[in-house]
């Protein structure tokens, strides 16, 4: 199987998918649109080969799929993580349509790995899972019936990426920080803000989600992370001197 060289830096990540048939249907959509990297987080057992049957010839994507127990492991090595959500939510600010997202992502692909994450068919991605995503996209749909089948949602996103990749894309000038470095920065930030008394030590999640959204919009590079963590370390040293 040959996928588009540019699109080969995109991974479709399926979290807690309920039915193997939907995984197979997603594989077919991916192959239609030149995507080849599939990551499955805690997928269901497929005793009846439903995934292969629904893949309809795209079973090579299923054979090559990476299977991991947690979303954190699925995102290791990625530079940009985009979560999908039907619900905007009061704290979610940087939400894009698939077309807007594709136009911004494709120019980064030559130098960065990008993951697009889809939650389960019933509940989607929860707040903890969305917190691991720097960007959020939502597919516009009729308010009378906005819920899309998982494979349909993947097809919409994959189509926009495919179309955007067919335009003349300028050479990227940015290499984003790996997700692991971002998570270490967020941990450092939380610890420092708690030491300052800025965060509620019992429930820091809401404010940290806001910070993740803020820095997610900035699309930090490794040098940015180093500078920010240097600032946090200086604050920590000042706090120790003051005690």
In the chain, where does the domain assigned CATH 3.40.1280.10 lie? 7-165
pLDDT single digits (tens) 52-71 = 999 999 999 999 999 999 99
5 in helix, strand or coil? coil
User: Confidence band (pLDDT; 50, 70, 90) for 169?
Assistant: low
Q: What pLDDT does 205 receive?
A: 87
Distance CA 80, CA 94 (A): 14
Contact 86, 147 (CB under 8 A): yes
207 in helix, strand or coil? helix
Q: What pLDDT does 110 receive?
A: 87
Q: What pLDDT does 243 receive?
A: 61
Q: What pLDDT does 70 receive?
A: 97
What lies within 8 Å, CB to CB, of 134 at 6+ separation is 80, 81, 82, 182, 212, 215, 216, 217, 219
CATH class, 7-165 region:
alpha beta
User: Confidence band (pLDDT; 50, 70, 90) for 95?
Assistant: confident
Q: Is the pLDDT of residue 130 over 80?
A: yes
What lies within 8 Å, CB to CB, of 115 at 6+ separation is 10, 11, 12, 13, 39, 74, 75, 78, 80, 81, 82
Which residues on neighbouring strands pair with residue 176, listed in sequence order? 221
User: Confidence band (pLDDT; 50, 70, 90) for 201?
Assistant: confident
Q: What pLDDT does 41 receive?
A: 98
Q: Is the pLDDT of residue 155 over 80?
A: yes
Contact 213, 91 (CB under 8 A): yes
Rounded to an integer, the average pLDDT of 205-215 is: 90
Please state, rounded to an integer, the average pLDDT across all residues of the chain: 91
Distance CA 2, CA 10 (A): 14
In the chain, where does the domain assigned CATH 1.10.8.590 lie? 179-242
Q: Kindly calculate the radius of gyration of the chain based on its CA atoms and give it in whole angstroms.
A: 19
Burial class (CB in 10 A: 0-12, 13-18, 19+), 61: buried
Rounded to an integer, the average pLDDT of 83-102 is: 79
User: Confidence band (pLDDT; 50, 70, 90) for 213?
Assistant: confident
In this structure, whether the domain defined by 179-242 belongs to CATH 3.40.50.300 is answered with: no
Rounded to an integer, the average pLDDT of 134-160 is: 94
Of 35-44, 67-76, 134-143, 164-173, least confident by mean pLDDT is 164-173
User: Confidence band (pLDDT; 50, 70, 90) for 2?
Assistant: low
149 alpha-carbon distance from chain centroid: 19
Per-position DSSP letters for 137-182, written without gaps between them? E-----TTS----HHHHHHHHHHHHHHHHTS-PPPP---BPPHHHH
């Amino acid at each position: 199987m040959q996928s588009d060289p540019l699109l080969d830096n995109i991974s479709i990540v399926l979290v807690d998918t309920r039915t193997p048939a939907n995984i197979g249907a997603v594989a077919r959509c991916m192959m239609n649109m030149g995507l080849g990297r599939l990551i499955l987080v805690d997928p269901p057992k497929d005793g009846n080969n439903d995934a292969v049957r629904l893949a309809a010839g795209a079973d090579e994507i299923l054979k090559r799929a990476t299977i991991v127990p947690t979303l954190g492991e699925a995102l290791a090595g990625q530079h940009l993580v985009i979560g999908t959500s039907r619900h905007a939510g009061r704290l979610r600010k940087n939400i894009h349509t698939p077309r807007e997202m594709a136009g911004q992502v494709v120019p980064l692909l030559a130098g960065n790995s990008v993951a697009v994450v889809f939650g389960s068919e019933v509940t989607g991605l929860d707040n903890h899972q969305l917190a691991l995503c720097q960007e959020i996209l939502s597919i516009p749909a009729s308010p009378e019936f906005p819920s899309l089948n998982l494979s349909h949602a993947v097809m919409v996103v994959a189509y926009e990426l495919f179309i955007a990749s067919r335009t003349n894309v300028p050479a990227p000038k940015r290499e984003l920080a790996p997700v692991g470095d971002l998570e270490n920065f967020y941990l450092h930030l939380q610890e420092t803000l708690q030491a300052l008394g800025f965060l509620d030590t019992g429930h820091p999640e809401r404010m940290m989600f806001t910070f993740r959204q803020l820095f997610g919009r900035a699309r930090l590079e490794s040098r940015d992370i180093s500078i920010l963590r240097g600032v946090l370390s200086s604050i920590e040293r000042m706090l120790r001197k003051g005690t």
